[in-house]
Structure 1
């Protein structure tokens, strides 16, 4: 029988007081939950398309059978419980199939981005100790380059390669060493049994390692357990407005995101929660984000709900009259990664005929802690929203562990006990895990405050705070203010040394194509920030740049902006 986590309550207050995690089965396994528990195995799970126009449809039963074949193949390679298997594949079926096969084995999957270069890939493969890599043909050469530096990586399985190696037996003679123990994905799975007995697991069995983006330091492997995606479901209900009283039935929902399927923001915010509820997900390996392609996908597949990073939304706002140009079925958009300015909500309301945009907040270590839901409470522009049912979130003093009074800035934290979204540990770095735990709280490293109505407001990363003339300035607030200028495309704000003030605020601004940087533009920005924020928060230095350094998830790397300043000083 189908079993679904059901945070359906008529009000936010009732959901917060009544929801619990006690319904999770003792023998919980992610793969069984996402595939085998559904009463209708023939329901569409994945609508897959490709840039060349090809289109494929996979039911939940199709994904179950195909992941069974892959699990049998991995087992034959010697993959066992706790082993790590890396997944370096874009939005293609082989990506989720590999995760599902690992979870059926009791192994640990390792999502990695196809955008990673040699150093990034080498570091993560070595740090995780992955012994199998399932890789897309577009990154095969990169994997081959680093393979000799990854002694534990024994097998490579290539997706959509131009040629296969067959059974993967060790080759002799003058063959390319990278072809040793290498396989073609389809051939590797072909002919294997359609059945597989899922390993015995619980909600606390290790399941996946997701690396942090490295925006504030070297990336860390974040270990999560089998109940991770269940932990996302209450927030999924909130930001896609699937409350008990909301209009429209979830049965007709179709979900899509352009975000890389290597990140928790794509897999956890959309793909796997949708499959928990038996809903359809659209996949398409777009490469770089293209606005026209995005609108065409939304129209072609009648997408009702989407996760869009703020940068993607801003690009989509450049299309005039989208609701008239495209036949859209959109009901809601969720977004996160940076505070959303009011004009994004206004644009969706007017240009997309009332589509709601709900902000969400989380991190790789503890995702989806706070969110908005227009059906439950009014959205306050610039606010992160309110705590998601099932998660005890507070603003605390990071030294004493005591909760801060309403309005006071402190560190955003979530109770660890019995919360499935809170990570187990940093892989290979238990000492770093300990630094994020205080009196039963997980410390996010993010500073914020809570108002008297229970809304949370993000201020900055703890290590990004700028102290100028004794005042503490959060760069996120300054960035949000500058982004309200119509000619500012992207912004990164950091503190730079100053003999008089200790630090001053510096803004790196990427103008829109139609605007050149100049002193008049600088003054417009300074006046805007002075008007929106305190006088001490305006950027005394402004540098115009053609682009800003970003992680592969699209986050601006303030650390690199600071390092660049130090190198030029």
Structure 2
């Protein structure tokens, strides 16, 4: 069995985590001790196997100490997207059945109000300062001896929230087997993931993105599973990322296309002054990468560039730089452990190269091991077709089995690597008295890949124009996370709909995506 304790015994002084500008550095010995002592605190607070801990932190010093404490005590760890609005955070805390809320003091005001309206919480804990009504983690740890044994260690899990097509985020929950922490059955997937990219114990890995996303938290935690070193940026800055690659001798990293766009937008003298030759693996995912941008990155970083396609729910294809240059625009072929299927509307397999259909992946043979959307049996059922599941994309395979993405069943927007479902935005905008009808879509954005665009039919007697556009955008930003709100609004006499009244968004998008080979990018 392999846990952080394994590497703490093997090499306690080896650096496990470096945060920011190296203002917080943590060895494997320190990570083991802190996570073990926090595990004591979790048990003292009454948490039991299978309970959920909601964690309202940014890329903060104790993030992975708490993460591993949960993973050593059989708990679900749910990171909360700190960019969300208060009611959205409230929903996640409530829907996840969180028994404990851990929050950073910088989020104290919202955390206090959320906790007051969350009756299922058994405890509230603060880090980084005091929050009214919360217990300070520092005080709780003062009662736990440095060498206190944790006792039985049970493997925990992460429960992430993926955007929901109904406007509410969906908790992606996998069964939690009652097995010892670090059990080989749990580690197989983690070790397999990093092995695809050739990442080993000797690597130094850079995390440039927020840890509440699936890939950043998954890859960074995997580094501790294999005994590597992870460098975590507090916030992304393109030049700082290059500086860290040079000074920290980064060998592996994970990105989204927006990072690439901002890196390539730096002046050439800035880009060329940093030595990035140590970088062997630069994985990118989360959103389709425009062909010209990826060509730039391969020209700059060469064979280090590797792309994979998957969702929070699972799945997976992989394509390396030289393959991609022969199959530009592809997201690759399936990696070990599954086959990509293209199905028509009736669920029949499409075998004709180039013919579009719904993309499905093979689910684990053991039904009990499959993911489910927490408290949404209908959504879970609609995701599966027998032993296959979908994450809602449309695409095709070519004659060599390479997958190309062309659209989304779900109308999801991916902006800067962040998933946005437009129904939530539409639901808020349509409540404005000056709005008769509205459709929200993703439109091309050179930096973000896509940006949120609203097409509004004004109410009778309302004059469209810049003033109304500003008013509606402000109204939206007052109610939901800013990144979900439209950057621009177009006004129209009607929103195209089908005979049954459903929005014909594919038709609407054609106006904005004309001339683009893919309707995703």
TM-score tier (shorter): 0.7 to 0.9
Deviation of 1:116 after TM superposition, in Å, equals 2.2
Please, which of 250, 274, 299 is the counterpart of residue 350 of structure 1?
299
1:545 aligned residue: none
Contact 1:45 1:60 in 2 (8 A): yes
- 1 CA distance for matches of 2:448 and 2:217? 30
- 1 CA distance for matches of 2:167 and 2:442? 23
CA-to-aligned-CA distance 1:320-375 (integer Å, 9 cap, x gap)? 335531122222321122221222232223334x2532221111111x51111347
Higher relative contact order (CA 8 A, sep 6+): 1
Matched, 1:187 2:126: no
2:97 aligned residue: 129
2:485 aligned residue: none
Deviation of 1:150 after TM superposition, in Å, equals 0.6
2:290 aligned residue: 341
Matched, 1:461 2:408: yes
Matched, 1:90 2:39: no
Matched, 1:301 2:255: no
Evaluate the alpha carbon distance shift between residue 99 and residue 419 of structure 1 in structure 2; reply closer, same or farther with a 3 A threshold.
farther
Matched, 1:254 2:204: yes
TM-score (norm 1): 0.69
Contact 2:324 2:330 in 1 (8 A): no
Deviation of 1:151 after TM superposition, in Å, equals 0.7
- 2 CA distance for matches of 1:140 and 1:491? 31
The residue matched to 2:306 in structure 1 has which SS? strand
Please, which of 213, 221, 227 is the counterpart of residue 272 of structure 1?
221
- 2 CA distance for matches of 1:127 and 1:465? 22
Please, which of 273, 276, 290 is the counterpart of residue 325 of structure 1?
273
Question: After the TM superposition, which of the residue ranges 442-451 and 411-420 deviates more from structure 2?
Answer: 411-420
Q: Counterparts in 2 of 1:15-414, with a 5 A limit?
A: 32-36=2-6, 40-42=10-12, 44-50=14-20, 53=21, 55-161=23-129, 163=130, 179-180=132-133, 182-193=134-145, 194=147, 195-200=149-154, 207-214=157-164, 217-225=167-175, 230-238=188-196, 240=197, 242=198, 250-268=200-218, 270-286=219-235, 289-321=236-268, 322-328=270-276, 329-352=278-301, 354=302, 356-366=304-314, 369-374=316-321, 380-397=327-344, 399-414=346-361
CA-to-aligned-CA distance 1:196-220 (integer Å, 9 cap, x gap)? 123355xxxx622111134663211
- 1 CA distance for matches of 2:128 and 2:154? 32
5+ residue gaps in structure 1? 1-27, 164-177, 243-248, 467-474, 509-521, 538-554, 557-569
- 2 CA distance for matches of 1:262 and 1:378? 32
Evaluate the alpha carbon distance shift between residue 120 and residue 73 of structure 1 in structure 2; reply closer, same or farther with a 3 A threshold.
same
Contact 2:442 2:450 in 1 (8 A): no
The residue matched to 2:313 in structure 1 has which SS? coil
- 2 CA distance for matches of 1:494 and 1:419? 43
Evaluate the alpha carbon distance shift between residue 296 and residue 423 of structure 1 in structure 2; reply closer, same or farther with a 3 A threshold.
farther
- 2 CA distance for matches of 1:341 and 1:421? 38
Deviation of 1:272 after TM superposition, in Å, equals 1.9
Please, which of 382, 385, 395 is the counterpart of residue 448 of structure 1?
395
The residue matched to 1:458 in structure 2 has which SS? strand
CA-to-aligned-CA distance 1:130-189 (integer Å, 9 cap, x gap)? 11111112212111122221111232211211x4xxxxxxxxxxxxxx733x22222322
1:245 aligned residue: none
Deviation of 1:66 after TM superposition, in Å, equals 0.8
- 2 CA distance for matches of 1:421 and 1:88? 30
Contact 2:290 2:449 in 1 (8 A): no
CA-to-aligned-CA distance 1:80-114 (integer Å, 9 cap, x gap)? 11111111112223212212111211121111122
Over aligned residues, Cα RMSD in angstroms? 3.6
- 1 CA distance for matches of 2:448 and 2:215? 25
Evaluate the alpha carbon distance shift between residue 48 and residue 419 of structure 1 in structure 2; reply closer, same or farther with a 3 A threshold.
farther
Contact 1:415 1:440 in 2 (8 A): yes
The residue matched to 1:179 in structure 2 has which SS? coil
Contact 1:372 1:379 in 2 (8 A): no
Deviation of 1:432 after TM superposition, in Å, equals 2.1
Contact 2:324 2:332 in 1 (8 A): no
CA-to-aligned-CA distance 1:461-520 (integer Å, 9 cap, x gap)? 213399xxxxxxxx9xxx99956xx79975457998348996675569xxxxxxxxxxxx
